[in-house]
Amino acid sequence: MTTAPARPAHDTTPAPGPAPAAGPPYTPPYRSYVYAYPHKTAYRELPDRPPLRELWEGEAQHALSLYLHIPFCEVRCGFCNLFTRIGGPDGLTTAYLDALDRQAGAVRAALDEGARFALAAFGGGTPTYLSAAELERLCDIAEHRMGADLRAVPLSVEASPATATADRLAVLAERGTTRLSLGVQSFVDAEARSAVRPQKRAEVEAALGRIRDAGFPVLNIDLIYGIDGQTEASWLHSLDAALAWQPEELYLYPLYVRPLTGLARRGEAESPLQWDARRLALYRAGCDHLLAHGYQQVSMRMFRRAAAPQAGMSEYACQTDGMVGLGCGARSYTSRLHYSFDYAVDATEVRRIIDDYVATETFDRAVVGRAMTPAEARRRHLVQSLLQAEGLALSDYRARFGSTPAEDFPAELAAFAARGWLVDGTDAALRLSPEGLAHSDAVGPMLFSPEVRALMAEYEAK
């Protein structure tokens, strides 16, 4: 599992038993990781397949985000429900990059001549599954076909220990990568095996050494809590092992077991209520540990070392600015439509979608998506802002929508306040309390519209 503006599918944990007699009803803290809104499982095939040129016409394009998706990994972890396949036959990565190049040409032709990118990321899958020469070509597509100046904007790239080789890292460093994110998940070999992630701590440490030698300004390490057999002591052991490398960022992910993944086939080791309590306890221990070691909490998952360099300041704002996604697992956002390609987790379905993508000659229309109404835009702005520790600037919201969140979402905010999830006494921002941040994976889904919830409930995993 690697960090990306990311990616997990819909998942719900059933509430255990009846609600208590007093106070708000029990809310499972781990409903779904919300990294974007609406969720991709609310997307549907677009019957009219609108031309990209029409979708981008009139859109603000001065500070776009560019995301390139590589759907290949050397192994599939037991918790992974990302759109990716294990390896590939000879020539597939070349054919995929050929298709990516064709798509880039079509997308760039649909954008304004003066469109510029303020942010870039390579995700997956595992982008460093590509060879060093293929990574050069990936960067060329971003720069020469799309017009993104990778050395002038923040560029984040995901990697795994096995694929973080010196030659690949050298290419990424030379091409301007400012942030390298390494999926580690656990420094305890037994826990890695339990999560069906075949790696040894010695391999992880060697990869971290190579990454530090390459000189990226920002190193991020991903860790997971809630693994079967993990204790508070072993969790803190992994945190200390990560801290020894003084990473500029750390992401702490709660483990989810989602449909069609390896862990889902194992069955449950404990009741949902017990697992909720264990994950919450490990979250609190990890949060306290990082705060005590000079890290600042940016969101429920993200922690940044105080005074450490950031990956680069960007004028891009996820609440308002557009995103251009290239690759069969990427999403694109305009103010009127969010769109992508088909999505799957099952290996056979993933292979089918990748094969269809590689065979596509013309990429000038949107295939799958969800229209954005003014009401959904309000929800998205609230979700994207409230789940950050700094919260939502009320002046920004009013300037954009002419109203306040309290006027637009009275029932939802009242429910959060009743649970102690909001900070009281501020007129400048709407912020989650520490307890609210701990329950971010419940806060986000509670803000979904009834229409989006219905579409997600109808979605059949494949």
Nearby residues of 265 by Cβ (< 8 Å), 6 or more positions away:
none
**Taking phi first (over 0 means left), then psi (-120 to 50 degrees means alpha), and beta for anything else, what does residue 385 get?**
alpha
133 and 266, same domain (yes or no): yes
389 and 301, same domain (yes or no): no
**What whole-number distance in Å separates Cα of residue 1 and Cα of residue 306?**
25
252 and 383, same domain (yes or no): no
Boundary of a domain, candidates 286, 305, 324: 305
Share of the chain above pLDDT 90, in %: 73
**Region 125-148 average pLDDT:** 96
**What whole-number distance in Å separates Cα of residue 182 and Cα of residue 207?**
9
Residue-wise pLDDT for 267-296, tens only, equals 566 788 898 999 999 999 999 999 999 999
**Region 435-460 average pLDDT:** 95
Boundary of a domain, candidates 262, 284, 305: 305
> Residue 9's pLDDT is what?
32
290 and 411, same domain (yes or no): no
The answer to whether position 14 is within a domain reads no
The answer to whether position 76 is within a domain reads yes
**Region 37-61 average pLDDT:** 95
**Region 243-258 average pLDDT:** 92
110 and 187, same domain (yes or no): yes
CATH number at residue 91: 3.20.20.70
Structure tokens at 253: 């992910």
Which domain does 407 fall in, by range? 374-454
CATH number at residue 424: 1.10.10.920
**What whole-number distance in Å separates Cα of residue 219 and Cα of residue 223?**
13
> Residue 246's pLDDT is what?
97
Residue 2 has pLDDT above 70, yes or no: no
* Residue 430 near residue 392, CB atoms below 8 Å: yes
User: Greater confidence, 295 or 14?
Assistant: 295
Residue 259 has pLDDT above 70, yes or no: no
Query: Confidence class of residue 11 from pLDDT cuts 50, 70 and 90?
Result: very low
**What whole-number distance in Å separates Cα of residue 186 and Cα of residue 200?**
10
**Region 46-50 average pLDDT:** 95
Residue-wise pLDDT for 305-355, tens only, equals 998 877 655 565 677 779 999 999 899 999 999 999 988 877 888 889 999
Residue 444 has pLDDT above 90, yes or no: yes
> Residue 54's pLDDT is what?
97
Size (the chain), residues: 462
Boundary of a domain, candidates 261, 279, 305: 305
* Residue 15 near residue 26, CB atoms below 8 Å: yes
> Residue 85's pLDDT is what?
76
Residue 19 has pLDDT above 50, yes or no: no
Residue 388 has pLDDT above 70, yes or no: yes
Number of domains in the chain: 2
**What whole-number distance in Å separates Cα of residue 179 and Cα of residue 181?**
6
The answer to whether position 20 is within a domain reads no
**Lowest-pLDDT range, 86-100, 260-274, 375-389, 413-427?**
260-274
Query: Confidence class of residue 401 from pLDDT cuts 50, 70 and 90?
Result: very high
**Region 187-193 average pLDDT:** 91
Residue 6 has pLDDT above 60, yes or no: no
The answer to whether position 350 is within a domain reads no
